[in-house]
Amino acid sequence: MCKDSTCFLTMKETDLEAVATAVQRVAGMLQRPDQLDKVEQYRRREARKKASVEARLKAAIQSQLDGVRTGLSQLHNALNDVKDIQQSLADVSKDWRQSINTIESLKDVKDAVVQHSQLAAAVENLKNIFSVPEIVRETQDLIEQGALLQAHRKLMDLECSRDGLMCEQYRMDSGNKRDMTLIQGYFGNTQGLSDELAKQLWMVLQRSLVTVRRDPTLLVSVVRIIEREEKIDRRILDRKKQTGFVPPGRPKNWKEKMFAILDRTVTTRIEGTQADTRESDKMWLVRHLEIIRKYVLDDLIIAKNLMVQCFPPHYEIFKNLLSMYHQALSTRMQDLASEDLEANEIVSLLTWVLNTYTSTEMMGNVELAPEVEVSALEPLLSSSVVSELLDTYMSTLTSNIIAWLRKALETDKKDWSKETEPEADQDGYYQTTLPAIVFQMFEQNLQVAAQISEDLKTKVLVLCLQQMNSFLSRYKDEAQLYKEEHLRNRQHPHCYVQYMIAIINNCQTFKESIVSLKRKYLKTEAEEGPCLSQPSMDGILDAIAKEGCSSLLEEVFLDLEQHLNELMTKKWLLGSNAVDIICVTVEDYFNDFAKIKKPYKKRMTAEAHRRVVVEYLRAVMQKRISFRSAEERKEGAEKMVREAEQLRFLFRKLASGFDEDADGHCDTIVAVAEVIKLTDPSLLYLEVSTLVSKYPDIRDDHIGALLAVRGDASRDMKQTIMETLEQGPMQANPNYVPIFKEIVVPSLNVAKLLK
């Protein structure tokens, strides 16, 4: 009911759709008034179309009916055929049951047929059986002549005859061992020929890389023989599933043996490249690795370009050879790594394993691409072995660096005692070869480490800087001993000043070299951790340079001591030329000090300036003279001012180019001279106050000594000045550098001063 209802609704929808379509078409035809005249014409045209459609529908329905009729007729015929076949099968089944007994009676005939087939096989092989000795001789001759393919053909005939007879015997009577032994004994030489032929094949394969260039057809013949044997092996194994019989010596598995021979040949070739030992040649490992590299690259190129053409594609000969070489190399590298290698040998081995092996010089060579993918190659050495080698290398390198640094310092120390001046660099500064030797050694080790890996390079840099730190401490101690030895006998060594200047300059060279080394071997500043920080080394170097500068100034002031002692004495007042001599001596020394590099020379000049002024002021404070009159005070003060200007001129000259303030210290002498020169004692307090305000580190004993030098201050005036100054301490200028602080006044009782 539901189905009929659905059909009715569908038909109704179709009618409505047809009506709508017709209305639309009529509306399209009658859009203008002049089209009404053609209504009859439109009607006739539509009637013709309708008649045509109905005719086509009738033809289609007729065709369908004819097809159905034909199909029913064929089905009827098929049914009759099935019935006939069924009847025939029933007749055959009936006849088969009746003939069973007849078949059983033909068993003797069946046995006779089997025996006949065996005899036929024997007759067929009879000729070969009788000619076995002759074939054996011919095969032997062919093997000796190198005609391997022909020899193998005859060997196959012999084996085929033997295997056929043994198979028939096995089928007839598998338990008859006597006949089987008889057949095998008759063909006994066959196995020997097979072994002899195999030896020839293996010899060719062992020399395959040479053979493929000289006589590739010989290698192709060997491969063809191996392929034949592989096919025979497969055929016999298939027959074994049916008969259970396997001829003696089968399967031969010559393909498997071929790859084993090639593998052994590759291993022997790699191991045989070591021509030297450490005792005969210190570069034995480098030579060994280079020979390996050359041989392996050449062999693989030959295998890729020539050997591949001599083997079937499914042998994948290049892929297998690549694997063999890689494994042989890995084994050889492990053997080398297990030996007691020296530091340079460890570097050579790791550089070769980690870099050379995968570089364009070897596996990354363009002639091996694209068959060899460097990224797919396994490491030749495991990470644990590499780590162990690196640890050994770092331990050995540490010992070597310590020894090298110690030896370099000892060599440099010997130079310090020479009678000739040290060499000067291109700018004329004295120097020794120590910094160049040390950093050349560091540079060599870092270049070597960089060839292995970035991580090792950083470790070696850390090691070098750590040892540099320790070395500088020893260098400082040796420089101090050098100074003390000289002070015990100032005549020895002859060139003490020059070599001490060289030591000072070395400090600057060391600084610059350390910065250059880190800039070169550290990619970014982020890599510089606490272990690579430079302040500690800079501090040691500055301390060495400072001690050196002090020792040189000590040398100067030892020569100036006599003349400094003349200052502010009666002799000085009467016209001593002590300051002239001091200036000449200082200038003479500083002509030598011009060989000191600028940073330390600037510091030394400033220190010499300050120290000369301090010694001058110390001479004042030691009360070597007490002026008796205003004229003496004036004369002495004016002399002090002239000498201050003389010193000022000297140190301005020495400090030229340093932006050094050469005036400040000499102004102190002028300020003290102003106190001495003052003619009105009532203004003395004001002048002293001005002096104290300028130099807040001046103490009571300094003022007392200064007043004692004037020689005219009354007891009350002295007490008033001292008490007033004690009540109002002065505020020091933040930029003021104390100068009176280190001047010690000889013991002087204040009460005695006041008397």
pLDDT at 750: 41
Q: Is 58 exposed, middle or buried (0-12, 13-18, 19+ CB in 10 A)?
A: exposed
Q: How far apart are CA 19 and CA 31, in angstroms?
A: 18
In this prediction, residue 324 has a pLDDT band, given cuts at 50, 70 and 90, of very high
What per-residue confidence (pLDDT) applies to 401?
92
Mean per-residue pLDDT, 313-333: 91
**Distant-in-sequence, close-in-space partners of 108: CB < 8 Å, separation ≥ 6:** none
Q: How confident is the model at residue 105 (pLDDT cuts 50, 70, 90)?
A: low
Q: Which residues contact 80 (CB under 8 A, 6 or more apart)?
A: none
Q: Does the CA dihedral 483-484-485-489 come out positive or negative? A: positive
**Averaged pLDDT for residues 211-227:** 88
Q: Are 712 and 681 in contact (CB under 8 A)?
A: yes
DSSP for 336-383, please give it.
HHHS---HHHHHHHHHIIIIITTSTTTTT-GGGTTT--GGGSPPSS-H
Contact call for residues 582 and 563 (beta carbons, < 8 A)? yes
Share of the chain above pLDDT 70, in %: 85
Least confident of 386-395, 420-429, 617-626, 715-724: 715-724
pLDDT tens for 49-85 read: 888 888 888 888 888 888 888 888 899 889 999 989 9
Q: What is the mean pLDDT of residues 206-226?
A: 88
- Rounded to 5, what percent of the chain is helix, strand, coil? 80, 0, 20
610: left (phi over 0), alpha (psi -120 to 50) or beta: alpha
Which one of 3-12, 133-142, 382-391, 658-667 scores highest in mean pLDDT?
382-391
Residue 531 has pLDDT above 90, yes or no: no
Better-scored residue on pLDDT, 710 or 502: 502
Question: Is 499 in contact with 493 (CB distance < 8 Å)?
Answer: yes
More confident of the two residues 139 and 618: 618
CB 169 within 8 A of CB 176: yes
**For residues 204-229, average pLDDT:** 88
State the pLDDT at residue 752: 41
The predicted structure's pLDDT at residue 427: 86
Residue 716 or residue 201, greater confidence: 201
Answer yes or no: are the C-beta atoms of 410 and 485 closer than 8 Å: no
Lowest mean pLDDT among 267-276, 305-314, 406-415: 267-276
Give the mean pLDDT of the chain: 83
162 compared with 329, residue with greater pLDDT: 329
Dihedral, CA atoms, 685, 687, 693, 698, nearest 10 degrees?
-80
Res 123 pLDDT > 50: yes
Give 655 or 277, the one with higher predicted confidence: 655
- Is residue 108 over pLDDT 60? yes
Question: What pLDDT, on the 0 to 100 scale, is given for residue 493?
Answer: 85
pLDDT grade for 754, boundaries at 50, 70 and 90? very low
Provide the pLDDT confidence category of residue 755 given band limits of 50, 70 and 90: very low
Q: Tell me how far the alpha carbon of residue 122 is from its chain's centroid.
A: 74
Closest CA to 573 of 629, 655, 639: 639
Give CA angle at 338 (335, 342), nearest 5°: 115
Q: Which residue's structure tokens are 């393909």?
A: 255
The span from the first CA to the last CA of the chain, in angstroms, equals 153
Q: Which residue has the higher pLDDT, 233 or 398?
A: 398
Cα angle 427, 428, 431 (rounded to 5 degrees) comes to 105
Lowest mean pLDDT among 273-287, 497-511, 696-710: 273-287
What pLDDT score does 398 carry?
92
Q: Provide the pLDDT confidence category of residue 342 given band limits of 50, 70 and 90.
A: confident
Q: Say which residue the tokens 């040796």 belong to.
A: 478
Tell me what the mean pLDDT of segment 195-210 comes to: 87
pLDDT digits (tens, 9 = 90+) for 489-501: 888 888 888 999 9
754 contacts 715 by C-beta, under 8 angstroms: yes
What value, to the nearest 5°, has the Cα angle with vertex 694 and ends 691 and 697? 90
pLDDT number for residue 566? 92
- 740 backbone dihedrals φ, ψ, rounded to 5°: -80, -15
Name the token pair of 408: 């370099």
Per-residue pLDDT band at 474 (split at 50, 70, 90)? very high
Q: Are 639 and 627 in contact (CB under 8 A)?
A: no
pLDDT of 570 > 70? The answer is: yes
Mean pLDDT over 171-177 rounds to: 60
> Tokens 């008033």 label which residue?
720
Give the global pTM: 0.65
Q: DSSP 3-state assignment of 186?
A: helix
Whole-number Cα distances in Å, 452 to 225, 349, 351, 630: 48, 9, 5, 84
Q: Which of 466-470, 606-610, 697-701 has the lowest mean pLDDT?
A: 697-701
Average pLDDT over residues 257-284: 85
**244: phi then psi, degrees, rounded to nearest 5:** 80, 5
Summarised one tens digit per residue, pLDDT across range 532-553 is: 556 688 889 999 999 999 999 9
Is residue 436 very low, low, confident or very high in pLDDT (cuts 50, 70, 90)?
very high
Lowest-confidence pick of 153-167, 189-203, 559-573: 153-167
| pLDDT score for 177 | 62
577-581, 600-604, 663-667: range with highest mean pLDDT: 577-581
Other CB atoms closer than 10 Å to residue 646's CB: what's the count?
Answer: 15
More confident site: 546 or 25: 546
Question: In sequence order, what are the residues at sequence separation of 6 or more whose Cβ sits closer than 8 angstroms to the Cβ of residue 324?
Answer: 262, 263, 266, 267
The dihedrals phi and psi of 738, each to the nearest 5 degrees, come to -60, 140
- For 232, the token pair is 């025979």
Looking up tokens 């020379």 gives 601
